[in-house]
């Protein structure tokens, strides 16, 4: 089982340095997020600075870019990395797509299905396997002159992962994708009992099995060797769970563990600006479902034990390692975690 890291783009030189350090610390991969800066540019910087690290977008916003643009960038990154690039896509939320990108959003599920299908059709056209011809309700592609095609590459097509939480997108993973970006606000039980079932329904449609899907699982960790350090990281995780839990579309993750109505309560506090009230609703019992708590020495084996039976192909991702990455002592601790995970 590999341990990956979520990272946020800085300057291009900074992203290069970060990727080098991540690879040196023994991480299996780095997932760059689309935020104020481009995940794709950070991936490009990482490609030029590393030799073994898997590099991916976790996630890149889909609907703000044409599938042709996305496919072209992913194709070049696959070639530049020797096949180490993974294209991770997400729908983002309606407000950002419509008001920040001035693009179409609804309906996000069917639109994402066509988006991924068309990206893969474009890959086949780049490789020369077939003439470009994709007709959908939301995307249509039929023109790719040779002068505008990057042509075939010497590695496999980039795998395409989809971020998913609810049933439609989870089924879509099994139907058309190569992997799933699980939400960092999750429990293993929810993924196994709910999302995995939906993914398997999609796999039936595509004639594939779970062996064909990779589960990329970002994990919130509360880790420390002293009470003070542990409490600080626990409170950080508590705040993140309250933040994500205030999104009422994610209420099923609370409800799966019997916390019916909790998302509404947190949302009500958020509307009032009551941050302390939001976090106080996340009890220690609730925290235990959505956060991995450990000392530094045992974190690697704890992560393996918790996720090893989830699916045939699992990649565990630290959602918080980048927070104190500039501290050399912290980087050394994470290097120990990657080592113990491989040994476990």
Is residue 113 very low, low, confident or very high in pLDDT (cuts 50, 70, 90)?
A: very high
Say if residue 163 is in the same domain as residue 272. no
Distance CA 316, CA 312 (A): 13
- Pair 296, 258 in one domain: no
Segment 296-310 shows an average pLDDT of 96
| Domain identity same for 286 and 298 | no
Do 207 and 238 reside in the same domain of the chain? no
Beta-carbon neighbour count of residue 13 at 10 Å? 10
Neighbours of 269 (CB within 10 A): 18
Q: Does one domain contain both 116 and 245?
A: no
Question: For 276-302, what is each residue's pLDDT tens digit?
Answer: 999 999 999 999 999 999 999 999 999
Q: What CATH number should be reported for the domain holding residue 69?
A: 3.20.20.30
* Distance of alpha carbon 38 from alpha carbon 101, whole angstroms: 14
Q: 148, 93 in Cβ contact below 8 A?
A: no
pLDDT tens digits, residue range 132-147?
999 999 999 999 999 9
Domain identity same for 238 and 217: no
Residue 129 sits in the same domain as residue 215: yes
Mean pLDDT of 258-265: 97
> What is the average per-residue pLDDT within 253-257?
97
Pair type for strands 140-141 and 134-135: antiparallel
The answer to whether residue 324 scores a pLDDT higher than 90 is no
Q: Is 284 found in the same domain as 298?
A: no
pLDDT band at 1 (very low <50, low <70, confident <90, very high): confident
Q: Of 271, 290, 309, which residue sits at a domain end?
A: 290
Q: What is the mean pLDDT of the chain?
A: 96
Q: Which helix (H) or strand (E) holds 52?
A: none
| Statement to judge: residues 95 and 241 lie in one domain | no
Residue 213 to residue 192: CA distance in whole angstroms: 14
Give per-residue pLDDT as tens, 5-63.
999 999 999 999 999 999 999 999 999 999 899 999 999 999 999 999 999 999 999 99
Closest to 60 in 3D by CA, of 142, 156, 162? 162
Of the candidates 244, 222, 253, the one whose C-alpha atom is nearest the C-alpha of residue 235 is 222
For 208-246, what is the HEC assignment?
CCHHHCEEEEEEEEEECCCHHHHHHHHHHHHHHHHHHHC
Assess whether 112 and 248 both reside in one domain.
Answer: no
Please check whether residue 195 is in contact with residue 182, taking contact to mean a CB–CB distance below 8 angstroms.
yes
State whether 92 and 161 are in the same domain: yes
Q: Which of 272, 290, 308 is the last residue of a domain?
A: 290
User: What residues make up the domain containing 34?
Assistant: 2-226+291-343
CB environment 129-146: b (16+ within 10 A), e (fewer): eeebebebebbebeeeee
Same-domain check for residues 176 and 155: yes
Model pLDDT, residue 195 = 98
Q: pLDDT-based confidence at 182, cuts 50/70/90?
A: very high
Q: How many domains does the chain have?
A: 2
At 180, list the tokens: 């799933």
């Amino acid at each position: 089982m590999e341990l990956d890291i979520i990272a946020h783009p800085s300057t291009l030189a900074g992203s290069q340095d970060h990727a080098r350090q991540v690879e040196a610390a023994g991480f299996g991969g780095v997932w760059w997020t689309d935020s104020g800066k481009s995940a794709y540019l950070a991936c490009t910087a990482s490609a030029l600075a590393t030799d073994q690290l898997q590099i991916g977008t976790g996630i890149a916003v889909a609907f703000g870019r044409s599938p042709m643009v996305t496919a072209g960038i992913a194709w070049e990154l696959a070639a530049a990395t020797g096949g180490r690039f993974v294209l991770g896509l997400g729908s983002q939320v309606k407000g950002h797509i419509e008001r920040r990108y001035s693009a179409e959003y609804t309906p996000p599920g069917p639109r994402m299905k066509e988006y991924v299908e068309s990206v893969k059709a474009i890959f086949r056209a780049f490789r020369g396997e077939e003439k470009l011809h994709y007709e959908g309700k939301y995307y249509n592609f039929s023109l790719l002159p040779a002068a505008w095609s990057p042509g075939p590459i010497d590695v496999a097509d980039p795998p395409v992962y989809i971020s998913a939480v609810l049933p439609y997108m989870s089924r879509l993973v099994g139907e058309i994708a190569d992997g799933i970006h699980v939400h960092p606000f999750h429990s293993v039980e929810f993924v196994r009992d709910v999302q995995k079932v939906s993914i398997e329904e999609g796999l039936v449609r595509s004639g594939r099995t779970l062996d064909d899907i990779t589960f990329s699982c970002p994990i919130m960790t509360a880790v420390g060797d002293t009470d003070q350090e542990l409490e600080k990281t626990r409170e950080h995780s508590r705040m993140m769970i309250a933040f994500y839990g205030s999104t009422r579309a994610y209420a099923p993750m609370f409800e799966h563990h019997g916390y019916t109505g909790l998302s509404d309560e947190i949302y009500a506090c958020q509307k009032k600006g009551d941050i302390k009230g939001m976090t106080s609703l996340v009890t220690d019992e609730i925290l235990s479902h959505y956060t991995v708590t450990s000392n530094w020495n045992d974190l690697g084996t704890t992560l393996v034990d918790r996720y090893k039976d989830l699916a045939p192909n699992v990649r565990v991702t630290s959602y918080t390692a980048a927070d104190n990455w500039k501290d050399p002592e912290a980087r050394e601790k994470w290097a120990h975690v990657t080592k113990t995970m491989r040994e476990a």
